[in-house]
Amino acid sequence: MTEPLVELEHEFSLDIDYDPSRWLELPPRWDTEEWQDIDAWARTCAELLWRSYGQDPGESGISFLAGVLRRFAEAFAPEPFDTRVLLRMWEPATMPLQVFSMVKPAQGDREETLRFLVGAEDLDAVEPPVVESFHTELGEGLRTFRYLRQDDTPEVIAALRYAWRDEEVGADVVLWTATDDTARVIRAAQDIEELAHKVSVAVWNLEPDDEESPDTKS
């Protein structure tokens, strides 16, 4: 899958004001301070999700959902603190959709950089990417929707990407999802659009002896 690579820099972190009734965040890999292990996290979240929907999980519902959440965590849980991963959750028996967010120091011309980050000129796309602008509180950003080949197989991946620049703190933000289930991307598209408006950048003071929390937020 030809997704643009983004160089990571540990100067920023992301704040996301997401709706917990729709989104479940994957903890960093692996946050043993808060959770005993990945199984404990997956089981607890599965129980809470079934309870929140007021449905009877039956004999296998909780175990099934816990297994799904574990696989997503194993595949997508982030390592750096400048990356966060959310799952768009629906009914407990419905497969979630992973959505990634990342922040990096702003570099180069704004328009050129944003087009690169969303893959606007992706020559490996099945067809020319659909490129649109969208408005954020921080200014205009770009959004693309593309169909990509998974390596050399006939499998097609649907990819939705957002990118914008926070000029105040000098950071570029990327929000994206990619999956072979186009219907899930379409179903989540409006929620992902709303999520893009709820992302802000926190700037960290990287002095060697400073362990304080972020000192500036956009």
* pLDDT tens readout for residues 166-178: 988 899 999 999 9
Can you identify the CATH homologous superfamily of domain 10-26+80-205? Mog1/PsbP, alpha/beta/alpha sandwich (3.40.1000.10)
The confidence score (pLDDT) of residue 1 equals 43
The confidence score (pLDDT) of residue 19 equals 95
**pLDDT digits over 57-94, tens only?**
998 999 999 999 999 999 998 876 678 999 999 999 99
d(CA 202, CA 205): 10
| 205-17-175 Cα angle (round to 5) | 80
Query: Is beta strand 199-203 parallel, antiparallel or unpaired with respect to 130-136?
Result: unpaired
d(CA 72, CA 94): 13
d(CA 30, CA 134): 34
Q: What separation in angstroms does the CA of 128 have from each of 144, 181, 205?
A: 10, 19, 41
139: left (phi over 0), alpha (psi -120 to 50) or beta: left
Residue 166, token pair as written in the block: 């926070």
The confidence score (pLDDT) of residue 33 equals 62
Residue ranges for the chain with pLDDT beneath 70 = 1-10, 30-36, 80-81, 205-218
Run of H or E including 195? helix 182-196
User: Chain-wide mean pLDDT for the chain?
Assistant: 86
196 and 119 Cβ atoms separated by less than 8 Å: no
Where do the structural domains in the chain lie, given as residue ranges?
10-26+80-205, 29-77
Nearest to 76 by CA among 41, 29, 31: 29
User: Can you give the pTM of this predicted structure?
Assistant: 0.85
